[in-house]
A and B are shown apart, each in its own frame.
Chain A
Amino acid sequence: MHISDGVLPTSVAIGSYVAAAVLATWSMRKTRAEDLPKVAVVTASFFVASLVHVSLGPTSVHLLIPGVVGVLLGPSAFLAVALGLFLQSILFQFGGLTALGANSLMMGCPALFAGWLFHAIKGKTLKQHVIAGVVVGASGTALAAVFLALLLFTGGEDFFAVAKLALAAHIPVIIIEGAITGFLVSFLYKVKPELLYLPFTAKGNGPATNDP
């Protein structure tokens, strides 16, 4: 699920670049210095996850993991997604550089939403956490498909047709992502629960606040 070069009109490409830059800056200021290694590792996972192909009849779709990124990183998720997509477009020719802003919005906003949603609906018990993880993982991917349709709609495509097509193509991915996120959350809940809480405890001790 990438938008290629030249699909979007120039105005939309520029506008999405600006919006993505604003969001990335906000995300960077929200990132705490001591979280940087974690953000780096999750970014690398996001970067590599797109290479895990799920073959599906004649076509194949790949993992997107906006849910996982959002759950683990919270507000820093947008930074991770933007950087991962930038390197993907340079090294793998996924999407294009002119569509990078749109692609970042398409993947980053669902990641931010997933983080927020997970924080909102996760309960106290393991079961509630796992359910929240499944919901977040699935809805993150579905939301990315909706964003894709929304962006292509600005390029003159029919919104509902594209949305239907993108959602239908990503049903297996949505299911797999839900399962993966659920497993990950249950594992982390048992092994290192603070990873699931830390992104959302706003201590505000990041590099930005150290500015004189």
Chain B
Amino acid sequence: MKSIRQLVCGPARTVLVLALLFWLLVPGGLGAQSRSVSHNGSAAIDKPVDCRTLLTVLKEQQRRNQRDFRRLQRELVALKQQLSEPGINEILGGIGYILGLFGVAFYVSARRREKSERQGG
């Protein structure tokens, strides 16, 4: 019992404190993220906006959006075509209908024949 308490108070606590420090200090950690957000915001206000840079960034963004849009359009067309083609469900369903209808016809004809045979015999 005593040894367990010693363990919790001793090395385990040290490890916990070290982990907390690591989390706060290492760049990219959660602490660093919250700090960097505030830093960026102040920089955008402080620096004068370079219009040319902004333009290139926007143009690049637009180009990427257009590309994505075209890709989506192509996918939409392909999907439409795929939907208009009959799938495996329709094919199997149709075959099932055919076999079922002929099965019913066969049944009816067999019954009729049986009845006429009974009447004759």
* Contact surface of A with B, Cβ cutoff 8 Å: 33, 36-37, 39-40, 43-44, 47-48, 51, 83-84, 87-88, 91-93, 206-207, 210-212
**Given A39-B102, A44-B99, A84-B98, does the pair A91, B109 have CB atoms closer than 8 Å?**
no
Q: Count of A-B contacts with CB under 8 A? A: 58
> Which residue of chain B has its CB nearest to the CB of A31?
B105
Residues of B within 8 A of A210 (CB): 109, 112-113, 116
Q: Tell whether, in the assembled complex, residue B102 and residue A33 are in contact, meaning their CB atoms are under 8 Å apart.
A: no
> Which residue of chain B has its CB nearest to the CB of A36?
B106
**Given A36-B106, A51-B91, A91-B86, does the pair A44, B113 have CB atoms closer than 8 Å?**
no
Q: Tell whether, in the assembled complex, residue A91 and residue B102 are in contact, meaning their CB atoms are under 8 Å apart.
A: no
Q: Tell whether, in the assembled complex, residue A207 and residue B98 are in contact, meaning their CB atoms are under 8 Å apart.
A: no
Q: Tell whether, in the assembled complex, residue A91 and residue B93 are in contact, meaning their CB atoms are under 8 Å apart.
A: yes
Q: Tell whether, in the assembled complex, residue A212 and residue B106 are in contact, meaning their CB atoms are under 8 Å apart.
A: no
Q: Tell whether, in the assembled complex, residue B109 and residue A36 are in contact, meaning their CB atoms are under 8 Å apart.
A: yes
Q: Tell whether, in the assembled complex, residue B112 and residue A207 are in contact, meaning their CB atoms are under 8 Å apart.
A: yes
* Contact surface of B with A, Cβ cutoff 8 Å: 84, 86, 90-91, 93-95, 97-99, 101-103, 105-106, 108-110, 112-113, 116, 119
Q: Tell whether, in the assembled complex, residue A40 and residue B93 are in contact, meaning their CB atoms are under 8 Å apart.
A: no
Q: Tell whether, in the assembled complex, residue A44 and residue B93 are in contact, meaning their CB atoms are under 8 Å apart.
A: no
The smallest C-beta distance from B98 to any residue of chain A, in angstroms, reads: 5
> Which residue of chain A has its CB nearest to the CB of B117?
A210
**Given A48-B91, A51-B91, A207-B113, does the pair A87, B98 have CB atoms closer than 8 Å?**
yes
The smallest C-beta distance from A63 to any residue of chain B, in angstroms, reads: 14
Q: Tell whether, in the assembled complex, residue B94 and residue A33 are in contact, meaning their CB atoms are under 8 Å apart.
A: no
> Which residue of chain A has its CB nearest to the CB of B107?
A36
Residues of B within 8 A of A47 (CB): 94-95, 98
A-B CB proximity, top 4 nearest: A40-B102, A207-B109, A33-B109, A92-B86
Q: Tell whether, in the assembled complex, residue B116 and residue A212 are in contact, meaning their CB atoms are under 8 Å apart.
A: yes
Q: Tell whether, in the assembled complex, residue B98 and residue A33 are in contact, meaning their CB atoms are under 8 Å apart.
A: no
In angstroms, Cα B108 to Cα A91, docked, is: 26
Residues of B within 8 A of A207 (CB): 105, 108-109, 112-113
The smallest C-beta distance from B86 to any residue of chain A, in angstroms, reads: 4
